[in-house]
Amino acid sequence: MDWWRTRGRDRTRAAAFGVVALLAVAAVALMCGVRRAATVGQATGERRADEAQNVLETQYWNQARKLFDNWTPCPDDLCNERFHYWWQAHAADVLVDAYVRTGDRRYRQRLGDLYQGLLRHNGGSLVSEFYDDMEWLALASLRAFDATNDETYRKATLTLWTDIKTGWNDQQGGGIAWRKSQPSYKNTPANAPAAILAARLYERFGDPADLEWSRRIYAWQRQNLIDPITGFVWDGRNRNGDGGIDKDWEFTYCQGAFIGAGVELYRATGERRYLRDAERTARAAKDRLTDPATGIVREESDSDAEGDAGLFKGIYVRYLAELVLEDPPQAEMTELLSTNADRLWQDGKAADGALFSHSWTRAPDGVVTLSVQLSGVKLAERMAALEKRGLSGGG
């Protein structure tokens, strides 16, 4: 930087010029550093989502079955003695996440493989005993149709929706039953996702009957399974045949699904009362289900092979993120998601890769169920989506 001295210029001018030059170089370096830091920051969610999807593919996908294994490690396939329809439905949903985010046809191919496996292991049909299971697959199928325009997924969605509507009956004043063999038991897992699905069907295809279904299901849910004071979501009613409400079952699953229903009905109608409901439930869930000292969502599952609860937090963060995407001023909820995503990445995964724990504060120990892994993948994918919109809140 001292080439100017050879030209015999005035030392004072030279010194001044040198200072200016150094300042200019420093400014450029600073700008480049800021840009580089911003690029790295912007890429954090993308990288994490890619790593999480890679572990899902390499450690869980079973090409012979065309399904994801129920847990890893799964050396002798004994882990697959039970067919977890709804786990596979949520696996389809995260494959759609990855395809929408990247446009990589590998994810589209894997999604097609998974649907073949679902049909094969469910007796050649997507229809199930459990209404909530079908709702989750219908939601994934509708998103798959939006992403690919493949008629397979449109037909799957409408076939499932036709069957789901048969779950509505007048027992307990309405609502969709949890399962076909238990028509009098109504719960949030069977009703809030159905309200999301019906609203999205209306948005996608414009049939007013679907919007009416969404409103009716939502109204039953709100009247029967929402705390009128706080907005906290109860799990179900009449499980034991006594008309009682399971108020002591406090699950992130229920909070997330109802938040999603409110957001989707707001999108479909523009009526802010639905968004206000979602916001109120989000605050109640944060107050009840996160550690006040750390902001981390509490554990609801263990690492056993039947750990359905491993998926609960994934449902919660998916639809909490939808609230933030729809209503960006939700800074408190953005921070909640960012805090949990960063803690999961720092402490809640394996040291050598994105294999997640049922706890988002400590590394996995032993087998990891597909349900648990999917919750981590959902969080990673939702943070990538928020980051793309400039809403990741840091990390």
**pLDDT at res. 300:** 83
Structure token digits, residue 122: 């469910």
**pLDDT at res. 18:** 41
Res 89 pLDDT > 90: yes
Closest of 192, 111, 100 to residue 146, by C-alpha? 100
Question: Partners of 177 in the beta sheet?
Answer: 186
Q: Longest Cα pair distance anywhere in the chain, in angstroms?
A: 100
Q: Is 187 left (phi over 0), alpha (psi -120 to 50) or beta?
A: beta
pLDDT in tens, 126-136: 999 999 999 99
**pLDDT at res. 75:** 87
- Residues composing the chain: 395
> Which H/E stretch holds residue 164?
helix 151-164
Confidence of residue 346 (pLDDT cuts 50, 70, 90): very high
**299 within 8 A of 252, measured Cβ to Cβ:** no
Q: What is the DSSP letter of 145?
A: H
- Going from N- to C-terminal start, the domains of the chain cover 45-388
Instruction: Write down the residue that tokens 């056993």 correspond to.
Output: 304
| 17-31, 38-52, 162-176, 238-252: range with lowest mean pLDDT | 17-31
Confidence of residue 30 (pLDDT cuts 50, 70, 90): very low
- Distance, CA of 59 to CA of 176 (rounded, Å): 36
Confidence of residue 393 (pLDDT cuts 50, 70, 90): low
Task: Quote the pTM value.
Answer: 0.88
Res 350 pLDDT > 80: yes
Q: Is 304 left (phi over 0), alpha (psi -120 to 50) or beta?
A: beta
- Distance, CA of 162 to CA of 167 (rounded, Å): 10
Q: What is the percent of the chain with per-residue pLDDT over 70, rounded to a whole number?
A: 87
Q: What is the DSSP letter of 181?
A: T
For residues 178, 377, 230 and 167, what is the CA-based torsion angle, rounded to 10 degrees?
A: -20
Q: DSSP per residue over 297-325, as a string?
A: BPP---SSTT-GGGGHHHHHHHHHHHHHH
- Distance, CA of 200 to CA of 228 (rounded, Å): 26
Max mean pLDDT range (21-30, 192-201, 306-315): 192-201
Confidence of residue 5 (pLDDT cuts 50, 70, 90): very low
Res 7 pLDDT > 50: no
**pLDDT at res. 19:** 37
Q: Class for domain 45-388, per CATH?
A: mainly alpha
Confidence of residue 307 (pLDDT cuts 50, 70, 90): confident
**pLDDT at res. 395:** 44
Q: Computed over its alpha carbons, how large is the radius of gyration of the chain?
A: 24
Res 11 pLDDT > 60: no
**pLDDT at res. 42:** 41
Evaluated on CA atoms 152, 154, 157, 161, the torsion sign reads negative
Closest of 135, 268, 276, 277 to residue 199, by C-alpha? 268
Confidence of residue 302 (pLDDT cuts 50, 70, 90): low
Mean pLDDT of the chain: 89
pLDDT mean over 191-212: 98
**pLDDT at res. 77:** 84
